[in-house]
Structure formats: C-alpha cells, structure tokens
Homo-oligomer: A and B are copies of this chain.
C-alpha cells in the first residue's frame, strides 16, 4: 500500500540522508565549492560530505562541475529538480521551527513521566 510512497532505497520523504537537506539549503543561495560546504555543515568529514553529494548527484538534485586549471576546483549547484525540492523542504523547516518548543516540551514531559513510573 505504501510501497510507492516510501521504497527504502529511494526515500525522498526523508529528504535523503542526514546531511542532504542541509546541503540543499546551502546550495540554495548559489553554487558552492567542496570546502565551502564543509564549514557551515559543522565540519562534516570529507568522506561523509562526498557520500552525501554523490547521493544527491545520483538523484539528479545536484550537479557537479570540475575544472583543473590552476589547481582543482569543483563546484556543486542545484539542478532544476533540486531547486524544486526547496519548497517542500522549506515547508518542513518552517513547521519544525514553528513547533520546536512544543516538540521539546512534549519530549521533556514524556521523559519526566517515565522517570516517575520507574522510580515507583
């Protein structure tokens, strides 16, 4: 029933892996180089960043352009498909931001209740 909504091998509802959404938001403002992406992403290790970028590239969301003149230079940018993802992604981020406090509060009171139960 939900097969077509969420094949685990291609799960856009989760917007890809841990860094995918963040990368897309970085590229939202224009092309970025490999090293330019590392900084805002909390110093993600190169291996992991490469993994995520390859995955986005594979899904046609990001385009990679390399030149070698004057040292290696690689730029990543959103494809039109990638750019089309920004709208739902922003909606999700806006929702999260709007309800952030509620989420944290719910969590805290749930955990608090658990402690009570356990101690009794």
**What residues make up the interface of A, taking CB atoms closer than 8 Å to B?**
1-6, 8, 10-15, 18, 21-22, 25, 40-42, 57-61, 81, 84-85, 87-89, 91-97, 99-100, 102-107, 110-111
Contact = CB atoms under 8 A, between A and B. Distances in A.
B60 A103 contact: yes
Given A59-B103, A59-B107, A106-B81, A92 B15 contact: yes
Closest 9 A/B residue pairs (Cβ): A60-B106, A12-B96, A88-B91, A88-B95, A14-B14, A58-B110, A88-B92, A1-B40, A91-B91
30 contacts: A1-B42, A3-B42, A5-B96, A5-B97, A6-B18, A6-B22, A10-B103, A10-B104, A10-B107, A11-B18, A12-B92, A12-B96, A12-B99, A12-B103, A13-B89, A13-B92, A13-B93, A15-B92, A58-B106, A60-B106, A81-B99, A84-B95, A85-B95, A85-B99, A87-B95, A88-B88, A88-B92, A89-B92, A91-B92, A92-B92
